[in-house]
Amino acid sequence: MKSWIAFWSILKKDIKNYYLKPPNISWGIIFPLSWTLMQMIRSSGGVNLSEIREMLPGLMAMSILFGTTSMLAVTITFERKGRSFDRLLIAPISLGTMVVAKLSGAILFGIFNAFVPVIFASFFVDLAGIKWGAVLLTVFLIAITSTLLGLMIAVSAKEVFEAQTFSNFFRFPMLFLCGLFLPISELPIFLRPLSYLLPLTYGTDMLSGSIIGRSMLSPILCVLVLLVFTLALFTLCQYNIRRKWFL
Amino acid sequence: MNTTDIVTVTNLSKEYGDFTAVKGISFSILRGEIFGFLGPNGAGKTTTINMMIGLARPTSGTILIDGFDAVKKVKKAQSIMGIVPDESNLYDEMDGFDNLCFCGSLYGMRKDEREKRAKELLEEFDLIKAGKRPFKAYSKGMRRKLTIAAGIIHEPEILFLDEPTTGIDVESARQIRQLLLNLKQRGTTIFITTHYIEDAQRICDRIAIIVGGNIVANGTVPELMESVSHGHSIQLAADKDLEPLAEELQAHFDGCIVKTGTDHTVTLISKEQIALSPVLQYLDSRGISVYEAKELRPSLEDVFVKVTGIEAIELKKEKDKGGMLK
Ligand SMILES: Nc1ncnc2c1ncn2[C@@H]1O[C@H](COP(=O)(O)OP(=O)(O)OP(=O)(O)O)[C@@H](O)[C@H]1O
Ligand SMILES: [Mg+2]
């Protein structure tokens, strides 16, 4: 009960202090949004509008990736720098509960961001036939793994800009390696193994399956792989946290 | 462990790489007392506090808090602690009231409970008007007060404060000392670090002096003073230079050590009590008038200088970075 009060309070504080603040919303929304618009303008200029639906899985994956990773740099690195984070470390709640509370905000933010391109697309194309249940599950799993990736970076970074720069180092290559806008089969052969080492590849594949009915891997396999990634990343983060956050 | 001890620290050490910040210190804190850690910059005060509150891991040694191992059962120990760090580290964007409520919630306080306590604390700390302002708009003294309020919102059994009066003005420092004394009245045990000798002397029941990671003295204020006292000592101020009479005086009062000063003073030190009238009569017979006679008692400052070898003036220089001038 007591842990739950603390958990909920940390989550609520982060949402109020960070996630609903305009500059932070912009990171997760403006960038994917302008990308969406850019693609739409491009595609409506000559090409079939139905291409928007083709792009949707990639756009959603990108929104989640950018939304979650940039927020953790703020909610964790920024608070650590200002030392208010110490309060959370010395609170009588388990480290796991506290970390999950911090992650939950970013995960919710990621899920929310995922649907920004969907809402936009719905004005232009018919979205019938999409398996929404599967989409939601996938969005959730992508949000968790991306958030944990962000956490890995936030644990090591001392400054916010360091965390941001460091995460760009990961997320821009991921845009190309994970099949968001370019099928993995079109990647140079030596890069492909790298694709399969990244959780986003599996998430994007699942999204493609449930939105445009085209996927390379079985969805069950993808869910399993994503769960394994979640567990592995969480364990790794906990280990790093214990090493780095306590003097 | 003594049942009246709330904290027992044994052979506690902390190494950072090949540098040892805390070197096997041991001490205990009695339930309900104010225990002070007095030491210069870099002595290892913050490092010790961080180990006790679970922010830093000891390299070796044990910390018992309320009877259980505070390193292994860190969350259990933390549930009875209140912590006021050396930096005022609340949330800049949030107002005073929300900051307090948030801190209460971390200790599992229910909404109505924490809101009630937050209001009470804002009142007690004279921060009612500031309660609706964001923390970043607070002055240094206000920040420190709110940080202390945040540390006690859940009514901890033991409160840790790292240099609570550094860097704030005389009046705020006085208010904080009074608040700590009030808390003690209500039964809270307090561990406080400081590099102000006066602070330690005014509010602490017992003091440990820490230098270079070692505790060099530990005891109640009278006990510490006893350790530097040489028995009785009186100082007389006269109207003339007494240096020329030094040998004569020493010969006459051979039960005492006699020291004459260049400032027309003479100090007599003895194991026994010193009767004043023979001294006055003797000086009078030499045509010397005495204006003032006082008993010299050792101060905590003397204790500090003796055990640390650091001149009080050096410590003053340090504290002026803070600015609590008396
Ligand atoms: N994280 C760290 N890594 C390396 N050395 C450290 C670390 N933290 C503290 N030290 C060193 O340990 C020693 C004790 O530091 P500590 O902060 O405990 O001193 P302090 O008594 O609190 O001093 P102050 O009055 O300045 O706050 C110092 O020499 C400091 O440089
Ligand atoms: Mg310190």
The whole-number average pLDDT for the span B183-204 is: 92
Decide if B122 is inside a domain. Answer: no
For position B1, what pLDDT does the model report? 47
Nearest-atom index, ligand 1, CA of B50: 18
Nearest-atom index, ligand 1, CA of B49: 18
Give which of B117, B142, B148, B140 is closest to B130, Cα–Cα.
B142
**Mutation pick for ligand 1 pocket among B13, B15, B16 (CB with most ligand atoms within 8 Å):** B16
Same domain for B180 and B289? no
For position A176, what pLDDT does the model report? 86
Decide if B144 is inside a domain. Answer: no
Domain ranges of chain A: 2-245
How many domains is chain B built from? 2
For position B208, what pLDDT does the model report? 95
Task: Kindly indicate the confidence band of residue A51, based on its pLDDT and cuts at 50, 70 and 90.
Answer: confident
Choose between A126 and B64: higher pLDDT: B64
Residue B57's φ and ψ, nearest 5 degrees, are -95, 130
Task: Kindly indicate the confidence band of residue A44, based on its pLDDT and cuts at 50, 70 and 90.
Answer: low
For position B326, what pLDDT does the model report? 32
| Chosen from B84, B105, B115, B143 to mutate, greatest number of chain A CBs within 10 A | B105
For position A118, what pLDDT does the model report? 87
Backbone region of residue B68 per phi and psi (left: phi > 0; alpha: psi in -120 to 50; beta: other values): beta
Query: In terms of DSSP H, where are the helices of B36-193?
Result: 45-53, 74-78, 96-106, 111-124, 140-152, 170-185
The whole-number average pLDDT for the span A203-222 is: 88
Contact B84, B194 (CB under 8 A): no
Decide if B119 is inside a domain. Answer: no
Q: How far apart are the CA of B91 and the centre of ligand 2, in A?
A: 21
The whole-number average pLDDT for the span B186-194 is: 95
Among all chains, which residue has been given the structure tokens 């740099």? Answer: A73
**Averaged pLDDT score across all residues of chain A:** 86
For position B307, what pLDDT does the model report? 82
Same domain for B167 and B74? yes
Do A17 and B109 make contact, defined as CB atoms within 8 angstroms? Answer: no
For position B28, what pLDDT does the model report? 95
For position B316, what pLDDT does the model report? 59
For position B322, what pLDDT does the model report? 44
- Does A106 contact B at CB distance below 8 Å? no
Decide if B138 is inside a domain. Answer: no
Decide if B2 is inside a domain. Answer: yes
Q: In what order do the strands lie in the sheet with B214-220?
A: B81-84, B158-162, B189-194, B34-38, B206-211, B214-220
Length of chain A: 247
Contact A184, A198 (CB under 8 A): no
The whole-number average pLDDT for the span B256-266 is: 84
Length of chain B: 326
Same domain for B218 and B309? yes
Q: Is pLDDT at A20 greater than 90 in this prediction?
A: no
Contact A206, A222 (CB under 8 A): yes
**Residue of the CA atom closest to atom 8 of ligand 1:** B47
**Three-state SS for B217?**
strand
Decide if B98 is inside a domain. Answer: no
pTM: 0.86
Choose between A182 and B81: higher pLDDT: B81
Helical (H) or strand (E) element with B218: strand B214-220
Same domain for B314 and B301? yes
In percent, the amount of chain B with pLDDT more than 90 equals: 56
The whole-number average pLDDT for the span B125-147 is: 92
**Averaged pLDDT score across all residues of chain B:** 88
Start-to-end C-alpha separation, chain B = 39
Return the minimum-mean-pLDDT range out of A113-117, A236-240, B134-138: A113-117
d(CA B143, CA B89): 9
Rounded to the nearest angstrom, the minimum Cα separation between A174 and chain B is 34
The whole-number average pLDDT for the span A98-107 is: 94
3-state secondary structure A65-102: HHHHHHHHHHHHHHHHHCCCHHHHHCCCCCHHHHHHHH
For position A40, what pLDDT does the model report? 66
Do B78 and A17 make contact, defined as CB atoms within 8 angstroms? Answer: no
Q: Is pLDDT at B324 greater than 60 in this prediction?
A: no
Decide if B199 is inside a domain. Answer: yes
ipTM of the complex: 0.88
Q: Is pLDDT at A50 greater than 90 in this prediction?
A: no
Q: Is A125 exposed, middle or buried (CB count within 10 Å of its CB: 0-12, 13-18, 19+)?
A: middle
For residue B322, the ligand closest to its alpha carbon is 1
Best-predicted range by mean pLDDT (B70-79, B235-244, B253-262): B70-79
Instruction: List the shell of residues around ion ligand 2, using CB closer than 5 Å.
Output: B 45-46
Q: Is pLDDT at A165 greater than 90 in this prediction?
A: no
- Does A247 contact B at CB distance below 8 Å? yes
Domain enclosing residue B210, as ranges: 1-80+157-229+297-326
Choose between B145 and B314: higher pLDDT: B145
- Does B82 contact A at CB distance below 8 Å? no
The whole-number average pLDDT for the span A141-163 is: 89
Choose between A238 and B302: higher pLDDT: A238
What secondary structure does DSSP assign to B12-73, as a single string?
EEEEETTEEEEEEEEEEEETT-EEEEE--TTSSHHHHHHHHHTSS--SEEEEEETTEETTTT
Pocket of ligand 1 (CB under 6 A): A 247; B 16, 19, 21, 39, 41-47, 195
Cβ contacts of B92 on chain A, cutoff 8 Å: 82
Task: Kindly indicate the confidence band of residue A46, based on its pLDDT and cuts at 50, 70 and 90.
Answer: low
**Three-state SS for B216?**
strand
Query: Which domain CATH number covers B275?
Result: 3.30.70.100
The whole-number average pLDDT for the span A42-62 is: 75
**Three-state SS for B266?**
strand
Same domain for B174 and B283? no
